[in-house]
Amino acid sequence: MITGNIDGKIMVRRWLVTFKPFRIFVVGIGFFSLCFLMTSLGGQFSAKRLGDSPFTIRTEVMGGVESRGVLRKISDMLEVILKRMDSLSKLDNSTTSDTRRLDELSSAINRFQPAGLVERIQAIAQNVSNMAVRVEQILQNSMAAGRAVRDGSSGQCEVPRDPRYPDCPGKVDWMRARWTSDPCYAFYGVDGSDCSFLIYLSEVEWFCPPLAWRNHSSPPTVHTHTHQTTTTKRQAAFRTDLSSLLDQVGTGKESLSFMKRRMRRLASQWGTAAQRLHAKLRQRWREQKKILVHVGFLTEESGDVFSPKVLKGGPLGEMVQWADILTALHVLGHNLKISMSVKELQGFLGVPPGRGSCPLTGPLPFDLIYTDYHGMQQMKQHMGLSLKRHKCHIRVIDTFGTEPAYNHEDYATLHGYRTNWGYWNLNSRQYMTMFPHTPDNSFMGFVSEELNDTEKRSIMQNKVNNMAVVYGKEASMWKLQQGKEGFLQILHRYMEVHGTVYYETQRPPEVPAYVKNHGLLPQHELQTLLRKAKLFIGFGFPYEGPAPLEAIANGCIYLQPKFHPPHSSLNHEFFRGKPTSREVSSQHPYAEQYIGRPHVMTVDYNNSQEFDSAIREIMSTEVEPYLPYEYTCEGMLERVHAYIQHQDFCAPEVPFPPANSSSSKLGLSSPGSPGPQFVLLPNSSALTWAPDASAPDAWPPLSSLRLLASQEGQSCVEACQRANLVCESALFRFVNNKDALRGLEVQCEVVEAEVNHVFPAFSVLRRECSLQKDPLLYSCAGHSPKYRRLCPCRDYRRGQVALCRDCL
């Protein structure tokens, strides 16, 4: 019987604690035999190593007949074990000499007993017990449904027509036709009957109302956005030892080896940065978060085209960033789990067995999940409906950025912004970029090695004034097209040209004979080369990589081409299909805009005279090694700390203006009503939040807000940049109202709320004002020749554009 099965296992666990070691060993043999039985029963059971527990036994329950057969065999095995227990218990009444001989036997067994055997047996017993309880619940559900039909009470399982659950009938119809399409439905007790469908749709999913005849004494399945609220919060402590992180990253791929080498090389700088930030925060309490990092692009399921190319000149930028993200989260003291495969992802999330059609049946075991677009697709496939429920916890590492018009699925589909990426309906700040080029997103970044003063002086003394290194590890980047031959000849007239192009046996024919090619260099040798060179020159591709920052940090001047017209998804194949309309004016816009001369020179390579003049200017210019603070270890720790402690996309935003405001429906406030109030900044056309006005809780805080109106056709990104500010999409909700329009002295004959990524905005010609109806479409990037936009700009910390002055 099933009851006897469960009671027997309870007795086994009690017996494991109280009996002597040699008896444990005997029963252990029985338990391992039991596990072997379960793994051999037609694939119905499987044992898998998971987490820190010795074994976790995962079940896929078929139908009632197969389940009963399995349980009968388990029960028979347990009876055999119990008989062994009974016979052994009789030995307690043995003579003293018998006891002595048994003790000797016990001692002998202990000498060859494998380490941790007792703990393994106890874990197996516990998992067998949990498994049996789960199967018992499923069988009880099936029997209850059967009794309902036999007793003539099948009316209890009629499909309800409840206006609060309009999707219920349709979902039941779907289950009738498709419940066998995924084993996860049987795992949750679905057996083909309407009763089982309704139980599932009301207790596992949420499309049908709870059934009156079901026992609802236990708490219902949790379907909230929040992590376990009963968990005691723990304080995060800075770490300087990376050994446990290195163990977690794992082995077996060249990409992982590259990331670990980088972690080791920068370990001392991360430790120093942690000490500095700890002092800056003045021992402020920081909550330790449970964080899952799933690196989707390195999984075998995504194809992993990167790992095989690590030693062949392939792109390393993504691996650089992920290595630094992992290190930053570890150093900040958070509880970290790392997944490099779909199998690991399923195990960490507790995904039910099957094809991902069923949701998770409990709170998400993590506060935050960092992944990429490949990881998002994998989570969608395996989490099913749960992804929508838990997506507020996700942060997407996104190299080139995702603009709100592409992120909003329905809007993107209707207005031509749909691409193969984007359309996840996230808060746009959940996307995290490599450079701060898309202020609608959050800037994650990476780090470059920081030099001390002695190293900087040494580099400046040993620079070779006529030495240039070309940015391009792959031979395809050297194909002489679009004027490259001409500007390389000019460069060769003045300087000795060096390359680091990968090759196996023969020199790549694309590389001119006058170029001294060193082949693909290890990082420390490349750094040595850059410390000698005066110039690091780009060919126009790759876009926005980490190498130019590393070159500038080692005292090189970076020369790059200007693009006429700017490259974008509208005119360039590389950007086509990416979820952004951003225009790229040069190979590395961050270097051009945020660093600039004398460290960075951006010229038209097709203009021979301009290029020649730039080379001569570079040779006569001396620069110190330079690294922006936001790309130091301390800068990245500071930024990631602020995001983790302040960005919360799961907590509902308090409506603004307040719901009881007289015109809150459109975000308007009539004269004299409570609402936002703006005052003009001295010697400026920008408005700021009035000091005497109540300031709702917000991050960034309202003290950083600077409200501007753009010109027609100008985005808020451009309008804020021209005022030496940054557009802050988190503050749109405070300017999406009539008070903001009134503060800017806008004349409105009509004020309406619409769904459009250009709003809030106004038309001077038509005297029309439009507010934003859908917060997902608050967009710094949107622009239109018909409208001037309301732009929520903010200030920023010196060297840290991601954070306002009061943000830390």
Q: Is the pLDDT of residue 683 over 80?
A: yes
What is the model's pLDDT at position 305? 87
Q: Is the pLDDT of residue 365 over 80?
A: yes
Q: Is the pLDDT of residue 414 over 70?
A: yes
What is the model's pLDDT at position 11? 41
Side-chain half-sphere CA neighbours of 573 within 13 A: 1
Residue with tokens 């991360």: 270
Q: Is the pLDDT of residue 231 over 80?
A: no
516 SS3 class: strand
Q: What is the DSSP letter of 591?
A: I
φ/ψ bin of 342: left (φ > 0), alpha (ψ from -120 to 50), beta (otherwise): alpha
What is the model's pLDDT at position 699? 95
> Cα dist. 232→224, 227, 336, 433 in Å?
18, 11, 17, 32
What is the model's pLDDT at position 215? 73
Among the listed residues 66, 60, 67, the one whose alpha carbon sits nearest the alpha carbon of residue 43: 60
Q: Is the pLDDT of residue 689 over 60?
A: yes
CATH pick for 453-626 out of 3.30.1740, 3.30.310, 3.90.550, 3.40.50: 3.40.50
- Mean pLDDT on 248-259: 94
Q: How far is 790 from 601, CA to CA, in rounded Å?
A: 34
Q: Name the helix (H) or strand (E) containing 727.
A: strand 726-727
Q: Is the pLDDT of residue 128 over 60?
A: no
12 SS3 class: helix
Among the listed residues 729, 738, 704, 709, the one whose alpha carbon sits nearest the alpha carbon of residue 653: 729
Name the band, by pLDDT with cuts 50, 70 and 90, for residue 486.
Answer: confident
CB-based contacts of 406: which residues, under 8 Å, 6+ apart?
412, 417, 418, 419, 421, 422, 423, 579, 580
Q: Is the pLDDT of residue 423 over 50?
A: yes
For residue 686, which amino acid is it?
Answer: A
Q: Name the helix (H) or strand (E) containing 600.
A: strand 600-603
> Cα dist. 449→313, 395, 558, 633 in Å?
21, 26, 17, 8
Q: How far is 546 from 530, CA to CA, in rounded Å?
A: 14
What is the model's pLDDT at position 72? 52
Beta strands in 194-249, from DSSP E residues, in sequence order: none
- Mean pLDDT on 173-185: 94
Mean pLDDT for all residues in the chain: 82
**Lowest mean pLDDT, pick from 132-146, 401-415, 534-548:** 132-146
Q: What is the DSSP string of 31-95?
A: HHHHHHHHHTSTTSEEEEEETTEEEEEEE----HHHHHHHHHHHHHHHHHHHHHHHHHHGGGGS-
Name the band, by pLDDT with cuts 50, 70 and 90, for residue 682.
Answer: confident
What is the model's pLDDT at position 130? 53
- Mean pLDDT on 212-237: 63
Q: How far out from the chain centre does Cα 381 lie?
A: 16
Name the band, by pLDDT with cuts 50, 70 and 90, for residue 59.
Answer: very low
Q: Is the dihedral of CA 142, 147, 149, 155 positive or negative?
A: negative
- Mean pLDDT on 643-656: 90
pLDDT tens figures, 390-401: 999 999 999 999
Q: How far is 567 from 604, CA to CA, in rounded Å?
A: 14
What is the model's pLDDT at position 518? 95
Structure tokens at 740: 């903001």
Task: Pinpoint the residues of the chain covered by CATH 3.40.50.
Answer: 453-626
Q: Is the pLDDT of residue 355 over 50?
A: yes
How many other CB atoms are found less than 10 A from the CB of residue 340? Answer: 22
The residues that bridge with 679 in the sheet, in sequence order, are 688
CB-based contacts of 740: which residues, under 8 Å, 6+ apart?
676, 678, 687, 707, 734, 760, 790
Helical residues (DSSP H) of 563-715, grouped into ranges: 589-590, 608-619, 633-646
For residue 224, which amino acid is it?
Answer: T
pLDDT tens figures, 99-116: 454 455 444 444 444 444
- Mean pLDDT on 679-696: 87
- Mean pLDDT on 352-378: 91
Name the band, by pLDDT with cuts 50, 70 and 90, for residue 641.
Answer: very high
Among the listed residues 302, 194, 196, 322, the one whose alpha carbon sits nearest the alpha carbon of residue 258: 322
Q: What is the gyration radius of the CA atoms in the chain, in angstroms?
A: 32
What is the model's pLDDT at position 452? 95
Q: How far is 135 from 218, CA to CA, in rounded Å?
A: 17
Q: Is the pLDDT of residue 87 over 80?
A: no
Task: Report the percent of the chain where pLDDT is more than 70.
Answer: 75
Name the band, by pLDDT with cuts 50, 70 and 90, for residue 134.
Answer: low
What is the model's pLDDT at position 696? 85
Q: Is the pLDDT of residue 71 over 60?
A: no
Q: Is the pLDDT of residue 533 over 90?
A: yes
Q: How far is 295 from 611, CA to CA, in rounded Å?
A: 41
Residue 374 sits at the vertex; the CA angle it makes with 385 and 777, to the nearest 5 degrees, is: 65
Structure tokens at 38: 């379960």
Q: Is the pLDDT of residue 797 over 90?
A: yes
Q: How far is 347 from 64, CA to CA, in rounded Å?
A: 26
Structure tokens at 710: 């753009």
What is the model's pLDDT at position 552? 98
789 SS3 class: strand
pLDDT tens figures, 583-601: 999 999 999 999 999 999 9
What is the model's pLDDT at position 386? 87
Q: Is the pLDDT of residue 780 over 50?
A: yes
What is the model's pLDDT at position 492? 95
How many other CB atoms are found less than 10 A from the CB of residue 2? Answer: 18
